[in-house]
Structure 1
Amino acid sequence: MIKLLKNLSFYKWSVAAVVLLVFIQTLADLFLPTLMADIIDNGVVTGDTSYIWKIGAVMLAISAFGVIASILASFYSAKAAMGLGRDLRRNVFNHVGTFTLQEFDEVGTASLITRTTNDITQVQQVVIMMLRMLISAPIMLAGGVIMAVSKDAQLSLVVVAAMPFLIGSILLILKKGMPLFQAVQQRLDRLNLVLRENLTGIRVIRAFNREAEEKKRMTKANRDLTDVSIQVNKVMAFMMPVMMLVMNLTVVAIIWFGGLRIDSGAMQIGDLMAFIQYVMQIMFALVMASMMFIMVPRAAVSARRINEVLGMQPTLQDDGTEKADREPGTLEFENVTFSYPGAEKPALSGISFAAKTGEITAIIGGTGAGKSTLVHLIPRFYDIASGTIRVNGVDIRHLPQEELRSKMGFVPQKTTLFSGTITDNIRFGKQDATQEEIEHAARIAQAEEFILHLKNGYESEVEQGGSNLSGGQKQRLSIARALIRKPDLYIFDDSFSALDFKTDARLRSALKKETKEATMLIVAQRVRTVVDADRIIVLEEGRIAGIGTHEELLRTNDVYREIVLSQLTEEEIA
């Protein structure tokens, strides 16, 4: 928590203003009971109406001054707290942007969303309270004690006797509640995970008639969060009644003993009234402190979760400043081995091949052979265990990640589009692209035809995730987004799977002409997509089972022949 609060240094003037204003407000609150005692003793008892009006006017002025100070303190505390929240969200977002897929897998998307939203909100709320209460509570407590003792030192012993009961009750309740705060955030993570899976996977859920089961899963996650939240509130619900009980019993005792002191002439009525007010302020200061004790532990849990994200160092670090321009358009794997964290065996072993400018290299293999894993290593989404990957003649570990990825046009297996227009989505690949470049890329990607049939053409809106487009249309837009970069290396990770054979053939023909000065790497399930490649790499269980052209592999490689026979008839093969 303290680590995050150091970020408030950027708002030091706002914090300083809050300190000053809260100090002024607290002094005003402490001064009012003394003026009230003065009115009672010297105005009400004596019947001096003019004195009542005079001191009453002073009390109104001091109250107004305190109200203004309170409003301004609230404004500046909110400004500092909201600014801190904004900065934390920006820092977390920017830092998460540097994560590899390994860190995303470790923390989880649902948890990252919770930490960026709910956890930071918890910290914001506590900072607002801290800026106000952490300053005013000690001043009010100390000031109230001093003023109460000044009115009657002996009667103050009643307050001293009540303090241990109040403080002990608060500490006991907090000890019971602290472990539950962590559980609340964990259950909230789980609820977000289930909700996210249901919303993003709604088509699959409906296709398999799993609505009832998913409702049960959501109900369970919701109930778990509700149950632990109720437990927290049950524990915390004891705090206010206990404090009110102690406060009221203390006031009763003060009135009892104060009445005896007034009867003996050792104390005036006004002083007793002021004394009660000061005791209430002392108790209120403790109530504010207890509220902090309620909020701070939960915020501390949230702060720890935020710090966990900010403290995570990406496993991939830029350790060089070389330029990938020695051999433009080349890709080379040299004895590359890679394992996922915690895996029993490597996902890829001893992978070696080379692709040159103007060539098409295709990768084919069964499910789980390691095709997507291989292409994810090229942009350094993961780091290899051993071996070397070179892009344009340079080891990718010696290249800045931005430099490396600027040389690539990557089309992932799972198509991702963003809300906005079709133009925005294609221009995502090149921010300064002209309309002519956008239309050219769409034409090569075989997307122009369906775009022009849309009501607003290139300015048609794409809904979140491209939900208003078909799978083939989304794939073609993703390909156009990669083409517009004109990179040295194109990577297509099973990016033609949703296209019909006619569109697939036209697209590959157009790509061959467009990418003469670049290297193309295609991952595919279809044999038809790879038959014309200059080089076909056959993967089986993370190893290369064969490399060659379609004709060569058909003659010499059993694994490739089996894949071909599973998709094509003898007549088509011939």
Structure 2
Amino acid sequence: MTRPGRTATGGHPGQAPAIERAKSFRPTLKRLVRRLATFRVRMLVILASIIASVTLTAFAPRVLGHATNLLFDGFIGSRLPAGLTKEQAVDALRARGQGTFADMVASMDVVPGEGIDFGAVGTVLLQVLMLYVGAALLGWLAAFLLNQVVVATVADMRAEVEAKVHRLPLSYYDQSARGDLLSRVTNDLDNLSQSLQQTISQLLNSILTVIAILIMMLTISPLLSLIAVATVPLAVLATALIARRSKPHFIGQWTATGALNAQVEETFTGHELIKAFGRRAEVEAVFDEQNQKLYESSWKAQFISGIIMPTIMFLGNLNYVAVAVVGGLRVASGQLSLGEVQAFIQYSRQFTQPLSQIGSMFNLMQSGVASAERIYEVLDAQEESPDPVDPVSPQRDTGHIVFDDVSFSYRPDHPLIEGLSLEAQPGQMIAIVGPTGAGKTTLVNLIMRFYDVDSGTILVDDVDARQMTRDDLRGRTGMVLQDSWLFGGTIYDNIAYGDPSASREQVIEAAKACHVDHFVRTLPDGYQTVLDDEGGGVSAGERQLITIARAFLAKPTILILDEATSSVDTRTELLISQAMANLSSDRTSFVIAHRLSTIRNADLIVVMEDGHIVEQGTHEGLLAAHGAYFRLYNAQFTEPVDQG
């Protein structure tokens, strides 16, 4: 946990979190499209269904326009004298000076004296109904298949991220805020899923609808089509300009979300420490700052992208007025029928609607791609070096460890360990002591290959650790850390985690050997007592004993104990020391300890300062030498001089 009063990203209160520039929009979108293309067959069926649905929907207004013509023709026919032909009726209207009306009647399919043919109208309406029902069914099929594709795609990405997390080196977690990483694999993936589900079908449907409707409008009137299309460049330009302005804010929104999650996660984890030091106001100030950044980026992103649809609707309304006026004049002149104009007006409304939808989809698309970029940053992160193609496994399993001229640094310009050589014989207990920052924990991290050495070699039973697979190396190693990690589950399951194949008798035996059995049996549910992921319900010392029992059950050849007794009372320390003694029996063990009383019986004590071994020997021999170990020991056990 970072120190209270500092942000999760390591900055000070009032300092803005570092926001990396996102990758460009197009490459990320192409990666998503390639991923969706793995479901090629279903995507083709989705595309075919949407095309068929759009085609049926596009034909419906034209057919409905025919029904309008039947109604209007019947209405006009009933007002004309019966017994005349259409030509005679037109001539009679012209003779009375009604030339415009005559031109309109001449273009219509009327029989003077006959009214509306409701049977024909009903047939046309039934056809329209069938077109809309067919379009709806095809649309539902496309939506169903698309939902499957998107859910499967995001599930695959979630699995890839989970696998990637296990392949990332420890240095990645050292440099990343945990809350931000959690936000990427939860919030960003969920946002991407929602964005894909809402945008893909809608975009395909809208684009194809625009094409289909444009074709239908051209078959009715090229002039009206030109008027309708005149607003498209303006709509596209407005959408592009607004989307460009909103993209940085969407990126900032999701980056700020990750930073805020990191801050909240840190605060919840360290709430006791924050209260103990009275830093609540400072932590709240940091939260308010992060929350304000999220608020500002969120409302700007939503407001700017939200302008797209009203802008396109305004242009669409202008287009609607122009089409209605010109269309009315064309009907009056007999150049178009009322049904054709009615269909065209419907088409013009449908033409601007998908354009508005495309504009509004850019809102979701920008947000989804911003989340995808953050996810791909995790997937593209440099992984730990791969295991050798032809790994070597030690022929014996004795725990003989040799450091041969090992050098290592976390950063090239800050060397930590230089030219270190050390040998641990099988079954020896090696204690590593020294001031904070001397390189003690780094030394055992190199044994586990959490980091690889810069130069030199670490031999495990005469085999270079880098020639072994990490699973092979770590399978021979057990580790008990200062922070006792327990997962949510029963005490029994936490111990059995060391060897899932162990029998219940073996688990109980490990618990007894590590002084766990006696306090577990005092609990109401015994070994079935459920712990939360922070080990609530048992004390810090009892949690540590459980982790030692877990390592005992694993039966490792090499044992690493990193400050395992640093945070417990004297009585519990004695129990833990006895448990560690049982655990380290007949095993090569490396013990990092600040309490020097716990390592008096070590076979070899190594004193480190600034990444170098400055002394090594037994407890008595090092005290007699009056060197660095002597000074450390006296610093702990010599009573301060009373100056009063």
Question: Does the 8 Å CA contact 2:491/2:528 hold for their aligned counterparts?
Answer: yes
Q: Deviations over 1:328-375 (max 9, x none)?
A: 211121222211136x43222232211122211111112222211111
The answer for the alignment partner of 2:355 in structure 1 is 286
* Pair 1:35-2:63 in alignment: yes
Distance 2:270 2:162 in 1: 25
What pairs up with 1:192-203 in 2 under 5 angstroms?
Answer: 192-203=261-272
* Pair 1:427-2:427 in alignment: no
- Between the two proteins, the alignment pairs up a number of residues equal to 569
Q: Which ranges of structure 1 fall in alignment gaps of 5 or more residues?
A: none
The answer for the alignment partner of 1:521 in structure 2 is 590
The answer for the alignment partner of 2:195 in structure 1 is 126
Q: Deviations over 1:493-519 (max 9, x none)?
A: 011223443443444445445544321
* Pair 1:13-2:13 in alignment: no
Instruction: Look up the SS of the partner of 1:317 in the other structure.
Output: coil
Question: Does the 8 Å CA contact 1:44/1:52 hold for their aligned counterparts?
Answer: no
* Pair 1:338-2:366 in alignment: no
The answer for the alignment partner of 2:545 in structure 1 is 476
Shift, 1:110, TM fit:
2.4
The answer for the alignment partner of 1:210 in structure 2 is 279
Instruction: Look up the SS of the partner of 2:430 in the other structure.
Output: strand
The answer for the alignment partner of 2:393 in structure 1 is 323
C-alpha RMSD of the superposition: 1.8
Shift, 1:63, TM fit:
1.7
Q: Give the alignment's TM-score, normalised by structure 1.
A: 0.95
* Pair 1:490-2:539 in alignment: no
- Percent same amino acid among aligned pairs? 31
Q: Which has the higher mean CA deviation after the structures are superposed, 555-564 or 32-41?
A: 555-564
Distance 1:430 1:147 in 2: 70
Shift, 1:462, TM fit:
0.8
Q: Which has the higher mean CA deviation after the structures are superposed, 407-416 or 39-48?
A: 39-48
Distance 1:392 1:456 in 2: 43
Question: Does the 8 Å CA contact 2:167/2:384 hold for their aligned counterparts?
Answer: no
Question: Does the 8 Å CA contact 2:404/2:457 hold for their aligned counterparts?
Answer: yes
Shift, 1:447, TM fit:
1.5
Distance 1:212 1:513 in 2: 47
The answer for the alignment partner of 1:79 in structure 2 is 148
Distance 2:534 2:408 in 1: 31
- Structure 1 or 2, whichever has the larger Rg, is 2
Instruction: Look up the SS of the partner of 1:154 in the other structure.
Output: helix
Distance 1:5 1:203 in 2: 47
The answer for the alignment partner of 2:139 in structure 1 is 70
Q: Deviations over 1:463-511 (max 9, x none)?
A: 1221332211111111111111101101000112234434434444454
Q: Deviations over 1:71-91 (max 9, x none)?
A: 222221111111111110110
Question: Does the 8 Å CA contact 2:427/2:586 hold for their aligned counterparts?
Answer: yes
* Pair 1:547-2:575 in alignment: no
Distance 1:358 1:298 in 2: 58
What pairs up with 1:167-316 in 2 under 5 angstroms?
Answer: 167-316=236-385
Q: Give the alignment's TM-score, normalised by structure 2.
A: 0.85
* Pair 1:358-2:445 in alignment: no
- The one-letter code sitting in structure 1 at the alignment partner of 2:247 is M
- The one-letter code sitting in structure 2 at the alignment partner of 1:476 is L
Question: Does the 8 Å CA contact 1:123/1:299 hold for their aligned counterparts?
Answer: yes
- The one-letter code sitting in structure 2 at the alignment partner of 1:365 is G
Distance 2:401 2:447 in 1: 9
Distance 1:308 1:519 in 2: 40
Q: Which has the higher mean CA deviation after the structures are superposed, 17-26 or 251-260?
A: 17-26
Question: Does the 8 Å CA contact 1:442/1:480 hold for their aligned counterparts?
Answer: yes
Question: Does the 8 Å CA contact 1:324/1:403 hold for their aligned counterparts?
Answer: no
Distance 2:350 2:578 in 1: 82
Q: Deviations over 1:99-137 (max 9, x none)?
A: 111122344322321221222223223322343133222
Distance 1:503 1:236 in 2: 61
Q: 1:503 to 1:213 in 2, by over 3 A?
A: closer
What pairs up with 1:495-574 in 2 under 5 angstroms?
Answer: 495-569=564-638
- The one-letter code sitting in structure 2 at the alignment partner of 1:194 is Q
Question: Does the 8 Å CA contact 2:306/2:360 hold for their aligned counterparts?
Answer: no
Distance 1:357 1:301 in 2: 54
Distance 1:310 1:545 in 2: 42
Instruction: Look up the SS of the partner of 2:222 in the other structure.
Output: coil
- The one-letter code sitting in structure 1 at the alignment partner of 2:40 is K
Instruction: Look up the SS of the partner of 2:273 in the other structure.
Output: helix
Distance 1:118 1:514 in 2: 42
